[in-house]
């Protein structure tokens, strides 16, 4: 019975059982099962997305962490994939920025100096509105007449907006024409494949802005600005974000009120704010007068500044004792640099001049006269300098101090000769002069037959200075004056010892010799107050040494006391006793005495 049932099942359900076995085999074979599912997965997904919006949101949900992990794991791959896209985007952005910069520069140059620009600057100053905004409102006039949104792939019109008076009868033909031209430029003309970006149709300008899914074509009449282009770029990006569903679904093309409203927002009209009749010409004369007035004021100020600079430079160059090297005008004052003598007089210099100088000794004759007048400090004397020769004139009381100053003048730089033509005041006699200026050393002054005779001894320098002061009182005779020098007196003292055999008594001849030593020392002390004299006693050491040394002490004390009594201060006398250590049998008188030595 069972067999009959199986046979009957096989006869009736053989095809169904074969199909069930085939399905079972397909389910058990994963590769074949996956292949069958892949054949229906793509259309099933499209159908589900279209009919089930909830599934669409789940399907379009993006896992950002998975993208991050993928990018970190394959950085170079993503860089290589994005480089062909980012490169043209950067080039396009840079090109757009450069074009915008050039346009701004051209507009700034055109609006630099003109009557209209001056007028607009005055309006901007009076109203507080930026000058750039005034220029924009008065120079830009355009109208966006048509806006086309065209699909990238098919070239069909997605949506259109335009003014009523400029609507096209066949918008699809316009869309197809623009797509054809764009494809032609992209394939045949453009090397980088970016396609057409602008075109001229008669008096109208067509801008094409490229997007991912759709291109926007804008028909403009007039002179649009870069600002409008930026607005259209931003609108294109916004439409791709907000209306991506309308761009993909052909059923919504030309049937989306929201998209059409968005396009109508781009139908901008910009007119000039100045409604004045253009036939009325602008009166340029007031502006020209203002311009010429400003130019005249600037020119006159520059001329005055130049003249003042020249005048100050000339005054500084003519100022005795100052050598100008540079003159600059900084922050409202003139800065003069150069060399300045300490006696330079800037009392007449402009108060706006600041002198920055390096000190030096000027040989200018005016400065030299000023320097000599400062040294002499005598208002009765007149000083003149010519060819490095000083000439003194006038009448004054000539004392020793003044004569020393006059003698010092020849040592000044730039002075080779001093000529003293000054005279003694009429109420002064040579006797009065001598009372105020005592003769040097032992000089005696007498007048015989209106001639002044000098006697005595002194140095040649002191004699010349004294005679120079007396020559204004008449003829002077100094032939009887004995002149001496420090070196000659020193040599005389050092080479003339006092030879004396008797240690207790000075002979008259020896006293005269010591008087000469004293006289020579007195003259030396008149030249140098600090000069000292050294006494050294010695003998021939004949006989007992004790007796020889005793006699030496006596001789030394005898000569020392004599010189002290003559007037030499004992503080300026130094003594030395040369003792005998051994005795001799020979008598040598030339070795017995006191020797002198000048210490200065």
Q: What is the CATH number of the domain that holds 144?
A: 3.30.450.70
Instruction: Give which of 566, 555, 564, 556 is closest to 515, Cα–Cα.
Output: 566
Nearest CA to 60 out of 244, 211, 258 is that of 244
Alpha-carbon distance of 532 to 569, in angstroms, equals 9
Which of 40, 61, 82 finishes a domain? 61
459 in the same domain as 399: yes
How does the average pLDDT of the chain come out, rounded?
78
Q: In this structure, is residue 4 part of a structural domain?
A: no
CATH number at residue 590: 3.30.1330.60
Report the distance separating Cα 534 and Cα 595, nearest Å.
8
Percent of residues, the chain, with pLDDT higher than 90: 4
User: Averaged over 555-576, what is the pLDDT?
Assistant: 90
In this predicted structure, what is the pLDDT of residue 98? 66
DSSP per residue over 163-181, as a string? -GGG--S-HHHHHHHHHHH
Q: Are strands 333-340 and 389-396 parallel, antiparallel or unpaired?
A: unpaired
Please state whether beta strands 451-459 and 475-484 pair in parallel, antiparallel, or not at all (unpaired). Answer: parallel
Residues 414 and 532 in one domain: no
Sheet holding 353-359, edge to edge: 322-330, 333-340, 353-359
Return d(Cα 246, Cα 259) in angstroms, integer. 8
Other Cβ atoms within 10 Å of 161 Cβ, number: 19
Residue-wise pLDDT for 54-87, tens only, equals 665 555 555 556 666 777 777 677 676 666 666 6
Write out the residue range of the structural domain in which residue 582 sits.
489-599
H-run or E-run covering 315 = helix 285-317
Tens of pLDDT, residues 375-414:
888 888 888 988 888 888 887 777 777 778 888 888 888 8
Q: Residue 597 in contact with residue 494, Cβ under 8 Å? A: yes
Number of domains in the chain: 5
Task: Note the residue count of the chain.
Answer: 600
Residue 188 within a domain: yes
The single residue listed with the structure tokens 């032939």 is: 479
Whether residue 49 lies inside any domain: the answer is yes
* 513 neighbors 500 (Cβ within 8 angstroms): no
Residue 108 lies in a domain: no
Which residues, other chains included, contact 262 with Cβ-Cβ below 8 Å and sequence gap of 6+?
235, 238, 239, 242, 243
For range 194-203, the mean pLDDT: 73
Backbone torsions φ then ψ of 595, nearest 5 degrees: -105, 150
Asked whether residue 277 is assigned to any structural domain, the reply reads no
Asked, for residue 440, whether it belongs to a domain, the answer is yes
pTM assigned to the model: 0.32
Structural domain ending residue among the three candidates 335, 359, 383: 359
Q: Look at residues 155, 140, 425, 98 and name the one whose alpha carbon lies nearest to residue 268.
A: 140
Q: In this predicted structure, what is the pLDDT of residue 574?
A: 92
């Amino acid at each position: 019975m069972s067999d009959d049932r199986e046979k009957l099942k096989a006869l009736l359900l053989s095809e169904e059982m074969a199909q069930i076995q085939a399905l079972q085999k397909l389910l058990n074979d994963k590769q074949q099962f996956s292949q069958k599912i892949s054949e229906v997965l793509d259309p099933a997904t499209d159908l589900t997305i279209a009919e089930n919006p909830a599934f669409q949101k789940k399907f379009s949900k993006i896992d950002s962490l998975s993208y991050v992990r993928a990018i970190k794991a394959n950085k170079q791959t993503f860089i290589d994939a994005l480089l062909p896209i980012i490169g043209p985007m950067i080039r396009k952005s840079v090109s757009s920025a450069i074009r915008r910069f050039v346009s701004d520069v051209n507009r700034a140059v055109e609006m630099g100096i003109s009557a209209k620009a001056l007028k607009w600057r005055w309006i901007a100053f009076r109203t507080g509105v930026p000058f750039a905004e005034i220029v924009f409102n008065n120079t830009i006039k355009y109208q966006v007449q048509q806006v086309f949104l065209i699909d990238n792939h098919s070239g069909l019109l997605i949506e259109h907006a335009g003014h009523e008076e400029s609507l096209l009868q066949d918008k699809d033909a316009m869309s197809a024409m623009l797509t054809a031209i764009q494809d032609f430029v992209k394939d045949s003309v453009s090397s980088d494949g970016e396609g057409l970006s602008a075109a001229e149709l008669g008096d109208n300008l067509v801008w094409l802005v490229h997007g991912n899914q759709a291109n926007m074509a804008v028909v403009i009449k007039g002179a649009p600005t870069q600002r409008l282009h930026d607005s259209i770029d931003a609108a294109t990006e916004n439409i791709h974000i907000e209306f991506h569903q309308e761009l993909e679904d052909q059923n919504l093309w030309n049937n989306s009120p929201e998209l059409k409203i968005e396009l109508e927002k781009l139908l901008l009209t910009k007119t000039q704010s100045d409604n004045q009749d253009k036939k009325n010409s602008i009166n340029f004369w007031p502006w020209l007068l203002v311009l010429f007035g400003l130019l005249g004021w600037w020119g006159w100020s520059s001329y005055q500044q130049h003249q003042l600079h020249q005048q100050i430079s000339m005054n500084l160059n003519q100022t005795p004792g100052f050598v100008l090297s540079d003159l600059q005008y900084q922050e409202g004052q003139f800065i003069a640099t150069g060399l300045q003598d300490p006696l330079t007089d800037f009392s007449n210099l402009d108060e706006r001049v600041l002198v920055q100088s390096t000190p030096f000794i000027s040989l200018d004759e005016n400065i030299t006269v000023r320097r000599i007048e400062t040294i002499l400090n005598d208002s009765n004397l007149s000083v003149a300098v010519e060819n490095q020769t000083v000439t003194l004139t006038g009448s004054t009381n000539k004392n020793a101090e003044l004569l020393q100053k006059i003698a010092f003048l020849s040592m000044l730089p730039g002075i080779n000769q001093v000529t003293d033509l000054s005279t003694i005041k009429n109420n002064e006699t040579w006797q009065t002069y001598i009372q105020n200026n005592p003769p040097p050393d032992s000089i005696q002054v007498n007048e015989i037959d209106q001639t002044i005779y000098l006697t005595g001894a002194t140095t040649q320098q002191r004699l010349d200075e004294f005679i120079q002061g007396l020559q204004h009182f008449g003829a002077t005779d100094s032939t009887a004056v004995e002149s001496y020098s420090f070196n000659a007196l020193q040599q005389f003292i050092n080479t003339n010892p006092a030879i004396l055999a008797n240690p207790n008594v000075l002979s008259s001849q020896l006293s005269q010799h010591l008087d000469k030593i004293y006289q020579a020392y007195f003259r030396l002390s008149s030249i140098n107050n600090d000069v000292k004299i050294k006494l050294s006693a010695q003998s021939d050491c004949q006989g007992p040494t004790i007796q020889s040394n005793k006699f030496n002490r006596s001789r030394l004390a005898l000569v020392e006391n004599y010189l002290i009594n003559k007037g030499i201060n004992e503080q300026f006398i130094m003594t030395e006793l040369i003792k005998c250590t051994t005795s001799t049998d020979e008598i040598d008188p030339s070795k017995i005495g006191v020797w002198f030595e000048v210490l200065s």
